Amino acid sequence: MLITTNRPVDTSPIELSAAAGTDLDRIWKSVIPETRARGNDIHLPISLAYAERLCAAHPEADALLVRVSILLHDTGWGRVDESRIISEGFSGDWRKAEIRFEHERQGCLIAEEVLPPLGYDADFVGRVCAIVDGHDTRPDAKSLEDALVRDADRLWRFCSTGIALASSWFALTPARYCDRLESEIVPEFKTEAAVAIAAADLVRSRALLKTEVLR
């Protein structure tokens, strides 16, 4: 059952609405080394932009919690053995690979390290960690904020930049990767807003990348 909204949903290209504000810049600066791993310097800012759209469609959500959680959720990749990311993280039952659990645990440790010195209290840090922990390996969302983070974490793959990066991780052609997005990722969305955004992005990305011809 999808979480619905009666607010308008912005389905225009994500390039038209980069993440707003500079209030998270101090967090970004604290995790620059961790953004160098596994395309995080592409994945995290784009996912934050999508998260802000989802928050606009869900004003009842704690937007700061969603924004900080999506910013930090994959920083743990920066503290795991880089060679294992591709060998274990993207093959076989990749969602259950030990390296996946490890990047979630490391992400929580990073949140506990960087947030308190920037003035975030223990309760807030605990709520961020509750979302970061299990974000890939747990099937269900524990709260609306958790659902919005999970959806933003998937939505970035639907823009052409996400397809370019993620299709190479999985050694798939862009066309095959688009098919996989539609069949495997769309059913995982928790919100109606994310489904609408993904559908609009996929139409645009398929046209741009000529996936009907380049098969």
- Give the footprint of Fe ion on this chain (CB under 5 A): 74, 136, 153
Least gap, CB of 77 to Fe ion (angstroms): 7
User: Cβ of 117: how many Cβ atoms within 10 Å?
Assistant: 9
- Pick between residue 167 and residue 211 the one whose CB is nearest to Fe ion: 167
Least Å distance between CB 131 and Fe ion? 11
User: What distances in angstroms separate CA 112 from CA 7, 17, 60, 82, 127, one per listed residue?
Assistant: 34, 29, 26, 22, 11
Which amino acid, residue 108? C
| Between 197 and 211, CB nearer to Fe ion | 197
Q: From the CB of 142, what's the least distance to Fe ion, in Å?
A: 16
Nearer to Fe ion, 101 or 124 (CB): 101
Nearest distance from C-beta of residue 8 to Fe ion, angstroms: 26
Least gap, CB of 106 to Fe ion (angstroms) = 10
Q: Are 132 and 73 in contact (CB under 8 A)?
A: yes
Using CA atoms, how far apart are residues 86 and 159, in angstroms rounded to an integer? 22
Q: Whole-angstrom Cα distance, residue 172 to residue 155?
A: 18
Task: Quote the least distance from Cβ 214 to Fe ion, whole Å.
Answer: 26
**Residue whose CB is less far from Fe ion, 75 or 211:** 75
Q: CA dist 55 to 63, 114, 128, 150, 187, Å?
A: 6, 24, 16, 12, 20
Q: Which CB sits closer to Fe ion, 32 or 207?
A: 32
- CB nearer Fe ion, residue 136 or residue 145: 136
- Exposed, middle or buried: residue 84 (CB in 10 Å: 0-12, 13-18, 19+)? middle
Task: Answer whether 133's CB lies under 8 Å from 100's CB.
Answer: no
What are the b/e assignments for 135-152, b being 16+ CB within 10 Å? bbeeeebeebbbbbbbbb
